[in-house]
Amino acid sequence: MQELGLAEQGSLRVTPDGENRIVIEKDLSSEEMILNMGPQHPSTHGVLRLECRTDGEVVVEAEPYLGYLHRCFEKHAEMTDYPGIVPYVDRMDYLAAMNSDFAYAIAVEKLLDIEIPRRVEFMRVIVSELNRVASHLVAIGTYAIDLGAFTPFLFCFRDREHIMNLLEWVSGARMLYNYILVGGVSHDFPKGFSERTGEFVDYFRPKAVELQKLLTENEIFVKRTKGIGMMPADVAINYGWSGPMLRGSGVEWDLRRADGYSVYPELDFEIPVPDGRFSDIGDSLSRHLVRAMEMEQSLNIIEQCLDKMPSPEGFDPRAAIPKRIRPRAGEVYGRAENPRGELGFYIVSDGKSTKPLRCKARSSCFVNLSAMKELSQGQLIPDLVAIIGSIDIVLGEIDR
Amino acid sequence: MSTSLNAWSDALSGFSPAGLPLGLLIIAAIPLVFIALYALTYGVYGERKISAFMQDRLGPMEVGKWGILQTLADILKLLQKEDIVNKEADKFLFVIGPGVLFVGAFLAFAVLPFGPAFIGADLNVGLFYAIGIVALEVVGILAAGWGSNNKWALYGAIRSVAQIVSYEIPAAIAILCGAMMAGTLGMQQIILQQQGEYGFLHYFLFQNPIAWLPFLIYFISSLAETNRAPFDIPEAESELVAGYFTEYTGMKFAVIFLAEYGSMFMVSAIISIVFLGGWASPLPNIGALALNDWTSGPLWGAFWIVMKGFFFIFIQMWLRWTLPRLRVDQLMHLCWKVLTPFAFVAFVLTAVWEIYVK
Amino acid sequence: MDNESHMSEHQEETPASSPQVEAAKTVWAIVREKFADAVSPLDENPSMPFFEVLDTDAWLDIALFLRDNPKLRFNYMACLSGMDYPDEGKLGIVCNLESLGEHGHTIAVKVKCARDGGVIPSVARVWKTAEWHEREAYDMYGMTFGSHPDMRRILCPEDWEGFPLRKDYQVQESYHGIRVPY
């Protein structure tokens, strides 16, 4: 009964640890301290600020404060014509700019009713899957750093470098590509790109296994992440979680399958969800595992696309790009599977202007992070870091 | 052996050309010069190169050949940096914190034998002194953390104190096992007992079937005592920014840094003295090949103990760049529920072995 | 499809409308049956079929109904966007809902309120994700959400003047001594 009272005051912490539940009891009722974590802090992945009320090392509650990177994307979008928005979209989720461009292109194309050349669709899928692998590599690497393991981070960045080089070759930029345009892509693949991409896939498969061995099978890593930041599936859906976060809670839901946009219905890939053998479903480790397994699937997708892609003869990647984009009056909610979840664009067109009346970006990290307050309650500070890391936030997308 | 040891020492201390006690000076100076050389150049440089090697990088390459002078450049940079003391800091504690830390880490070097001739003070309680004086570091860390008037620094300091004080118990008991095997607390005496013509076979680690247990326990505890990964939670940069030295800049920061490397070598030296024969040569005499005799002597002794120290430092770095960090409660769990009971077991078993079996 | 009789009051256009629109029609019919005139007719555009909640106060009840009715089960709120309708003198929100993992259908709902001092019932307790989306809508447009647990600005600073995404927004001259228009 006394324990119950303590639990209500928030001075009792229960950690699920497999079958046994560890209970950390605190007899001393100590004064709560406000601890500002960020905006300049190594593990807030940018300029997130968490105002933590702490009782010793236990975080009673952490309130996220956003907006340090707010660049008025939506206001800019209302003053820019449709193709001009693409670079702004790049700068939202700067780790997965291809995927963001893809989502935006899908949204606008829904209003335009244009036929996209088949080769363009394959090209889009290849570059965005490459970018997904790169983004997951950053997520996994920085997560390792959050937990104090340096070396996996550099292994991840070493492999990501190859993807950066590939995408630089194809688009001319290393991070903010401006490559996928409304109605097409800016350039065809350079000569030899497909072969090099195939080589990369062959190179990366064993490296992904090595990364698994170094990190996911590491006992300390498992100890730090298993059972931390539990999120049941129904609550996750209610919070609007999507992408690896939602799949980490055991919901097999992927927009590439559910919406079946672009050429994804023709491709054979699995949607990885944790099976509860290595992790408790819904914990930080599950989310990490989903990302690790998704890289594997992305490689499969790239390989299939390289096989199925139509030949480049007589192909103009800009053929379907309208000279002037002026969509019909109407509104649309277009979305795509970003590495971090569902990136959606709600676009309203008045039918007269070449600029959208409204362009709202539904950012996946923004929604995923909104559960932070609930996840943080009663956690230790090191666990808080582990939870933030598992959410894999990109502040550029949260603040827009 | 004991006579030859004294002979070397006596001969060196008696070496006084033109009435200057040059020999005595050398005895005291060699460890100190070594510390400076090691800690400033090879410790930091080695860590950077080793981590680079493990991470498919090159590490420092610009300053000097293969970046050998990088540490020197860093020291020059740190010397030039502004020495900031927080407005709200407790200035006295803030200033003496790094000093106490440094002194605590390096006082133990006084009893470390760098070969048969070089030892600052051959105390008959040398081992006890070394364990005891390291506890002074706790005071320095607490002073630094509290004096900074920063919440992160305070967290780091409190964690650090809890960790060091806890881990001293298994560490001390593990060391006691070594002392029991030797029957003495004097550093030179412990080493002399492990010296012999069969080289490494005389080491306690190979003499006593139980010795590997206290050896492992001490090694793990020493990682925690020096705040090295995977027990680097007091300075866990992804959680606490930099722990107790968050607010330090310039030379004060460098001093804290040096203290860390100093204590790293110190624990490595202690573990090699107690379990691996310190400066005793590991090479055995094989018939006419008197490898052991050829590789013994004052300079060889210094070489062996430095090599053994470096070996353990390399393992420390290897672990640091491989493993993630434990959580506070897991760390304490490991200390109190795993290492301490096993240390007691090792203690009892060693006693039984020493009294009844040997 | 037992609610087809109710659909007759809304004119069918082309028989070959997309499955998304067909599903939206079914959903709308069920809502219409329950709430009658509180909801507008369904806008059957192919890109995003939506209906509007005409009685703003009924929005919370409709939201709960949408989430909990076994035939609807809109358990997932994909997006909540604030909107400015200067021609009507109104502000509004657009909610994109989806029945994730159950029926798989989607629909959009619009709710409007007065431009000055308008209040929309908060659905943060229906879909937790709405909490931050509503804060963002308030931050950008200035409508408040009744019974919202934590009605503060989210992206702009607390003491920012005006609501940036309104069509008639004029940026403030200075902010803490910093000149804002550049």
Per-residue pLDDT of chain B (358 residues; tens, 9 = 90+): 444 555 666 666 666 666 666 666 666 666 666 665 565 567 788 888 888 888 888 888 888 788 788 888 888 888 888 888 888 888 888 888 888 888 888 788 778 887 776 666 677 888 888 888 888 888 888 888 888 888 888 888 888 888 888 888 898 888 888 888 888 888 878 888 887 777 777 787 777 788 888 888 998 888 888 877 778 877 777 777 777 888 888 888 888 888 888 888 888 888 888 888 877 777 777 777 777 777 776 677 777 888 888 888 888 888 888 888 888 888 888 888 888 999 999 889 888 888 887 7
Q: Which residue on chain A is closest to C130 by alpha carbon?
A: A239
Query: Is A in contact with C (3 or more beta carbon pairs below 8 Å)?
Result: yes
Phi, psi of A130 (to 5 degrees): -60, -45
- B229 contact A CB<8A: yes
Assign domain C4-167 to its CATH superfamily.
NADH:ubiquinone oxidoreductase Nqo5 subunit (3.30.460.80)
- B326 contact A CB<8A: yes
C-alpha dihedral sign at A321, A322, A325, A327: negative
Q: Are B276 and B310 in contact (CB under 8 A)?
A: no
Backbone φ/ψ region at B306: left (φ over 0), alpha (ψ -120 to 50), beta: alpha
Q: Which residue on chain A is closest to B333 by alpha carbon?
A: A22
Q: Are B221 and B268 in contact (CB under 8 A)?
A: no
What mean pLDDT value characterizes chain C? Answer: 81
Q: Tens digit of pLDDT for each residue in A32-61?
A: 788 888 788 877 777 888 888 888 788 888
Residues facing C52 on adjacent strands: C110
Instruction: Please state, as a whole number, how many other Cβ atoms lie within 10 Å of the Cβ of residue C23.
Output: 17
How far apart, in whole angstroms, are the C-alpha atoms of residue A43 and residue A62? 14
Q: Tens digit of pLDDT for each residue in A229-280?
A: 888 888 888 888 888 888 888 888 888 888 888 888 888 888 888 887 877 8
At residue A24, the pLDDT reads 54
Q: Are A196 and A302 in contact (CB under 8 A)?
A: no
- C50: three-class secondary structure by DSSP: strand
Which of A342, A387, A346, A98 is CA-nearest to residue A228? A387
- B10: three-class secondary structure by DSSP: helix
- B14: three-class secondary structure by DSSP: coil
Which residues of A are less than 8 Å from C47 in CB distance? Answer: 110-111, 330-332
How far apart, in whole angstroms, are the C-alpha atoms of residue A360 and residue A372? 23
Q: Which residue on chain A is closest to C129 by alpha carbon?
A: A239
Which residues of A are less than 8 Å from B326 in CB distance? Answer: 220, 223-224
**Distance of residue A30 Cα from the nearest chain B Cα, in angstroms:** 15
- A23 contact B CB<8A: no
Which of B38, B31, B26 is CA-nearest to residue B265? B38
Which residues of A are less than 8 Å from C131 in CB distance? Answer: 370
The more confident residue out of C112 and A213 is C112
How far apart, in whole angstroms, are the C-alpha atoms of residue B175 and residue B188? 15
For residue B169 the two structure tokens come to: 């118990």
Residues A360, C100: C-beta atoms closer than 8 Å? no
Residues A148, B328: C-beta atoms closer than 8 Å? no
Q: Which residues 6+ apart lie within 8 Å of C18 measured at CB?
A: C46
Which residues of B are less than 8 Å from A146 in CB distance? Answer: 238
Q: Which of the four pLDDT bands, split at 50, 70 and 90, describes residue C171?
A: confident
Residues C83, A78: C-beta atoms closer than 8 Å? no
> Could you say which of C78, C128, C164 has the minimum Cβ distance to residue A239?
C128
Q: b/e for B100-111, b at 16 or more Cβ within 10 A?
A: bbbbbbbbbbbb
Burial of A207 (0-12, 13-18, 19+ CB in 10 A): middle
- B57 contact A CB<8A: yes
Q: Tens digit of pLDDT for each residue in A308-333?
A: 888 777 777 777 787 888 888 888 88
Q: Are A248 and A290 in contact (CB under 8 A)?
A: yes
Mean pLDDT of the C27-39 span: 81
At residue A330, the pLDDT reads 83
Q: How far is CA B120 from CA B109, B132, B146, in A?
A: 8, 17, 33
Q: Which residue on chain A is closest to B318 by alpha carbon?
A: A151
At residue C13, the pLDDT reads 43
Burial of A332 (0-12, 13-18, 19+ CB in 10 A): buried
Domains of chain A: 1-29 (no CATH), 73-399 (1.10.645.10)
At residue A23, the pLDDT reads 54
CA atoms within 13 A on the CB side of B282: 13
Q: How far is CA B139 from CA B84, B105, B126, B145, B246, in A?
A: 22, 12, 21, 10, 17
At residue B1, the pLDDT reads 44
Place of tokens 């109904």: C65
How far apart, in whole angstroms, are the C-alpha atoms of residue B114 and residue B130? 15
3-state secondary structure labels for all residues of C91-154: EEEEEEEECCCCCCCEEEEEEEEECCCCEEECCCCCCCCHHHHHHHHHHHHCCEEECCCCCCCC
- A346: three-class secondary structure by DSSP: strand
Q: Tens digit of pLDDT for each residue in A65-87?
A: 888 888 888 888 888 888 888 88
How far apart, in whole angstroms, are the C-alpha atoms of residue B194 and residue C64? 80
Mutation pick from A153, A157, A224 vs chain B, by most beta carbons of B within 10 Å, is A224
At residue B39, the pLDDT reads 59
| N residues, chain B | 358
Q: Quote the ipTM score.
A: 0.83
How far apart, in whole angstroms, are the C-alpha atoms of residue C78 and residue B242? 40
CA–chain centroid gap for A243, Å, is 7
The H-assigned helical ranges of chain B are 2-13, 22-37, 44-54, 70-80, 91-107, 126-134, 136-147, 151-182, 187-193, 204-207, 212-225, 237-240, 250-276, 291-294, 298-320, 328-333, 340-352
At residue C14, the pLDDT reads 46
Q: Are A126 and A306 in contact (CB under 8 A)?
A: yes
Q: Count the helices and strands in chain C (H runs, E runs).
A: 4, 8
- A373 contact C CB<8A: no
Q: How far is CA C114 from CA A107, C57, C89, C94, C120, in A?
A: 29, 12, 7, 15, 9
Residues B324, A148: C-beta atoms closer than 8 Å? yes
- C83 contact A CB<8A: yes
pLDDT above 70 coverage of chain B, percent: 84
Which of A24, A58, A64 is CA-nearest to residue A378? A58
How far apart, in whole angstroms, are the C-alpha atoms of residue B269 and residue B306? 8
Q: Tens digit of pLDDT for each residue in B40-99?
A: 567 788 888 888 888 888 888 888 788 788 888 888 888 888 888 888 888 888 888 888
Which residues of A are less than 8 Å from C108 in CB distance? Answer: 333
How far apart, in whole angstroms, are the C-alpha atoms of residue C113 and residue A141? 46
Q: Which of the four pLDDT bands, split at 50, 70 and 90, describes residue C8?
A: very low
- C160 contact A CB<8A: no
Mean pLDDT of the C110-136 span: 87
How far apart, in whole angstroms, are the C-alpha atoms of residue B256 and residue B249? 10
How far apart, in whole angstroms, are the C-alpha atoms of residue A338 and residue A103? 8
Mutation pick from B238, B322, B323 vs chain A, by most beta carbons of A within 10 Å, is B238
Longest dimension (CA), chain B: 70
Residue A137 has pLDDT above 80, yes or no: yes
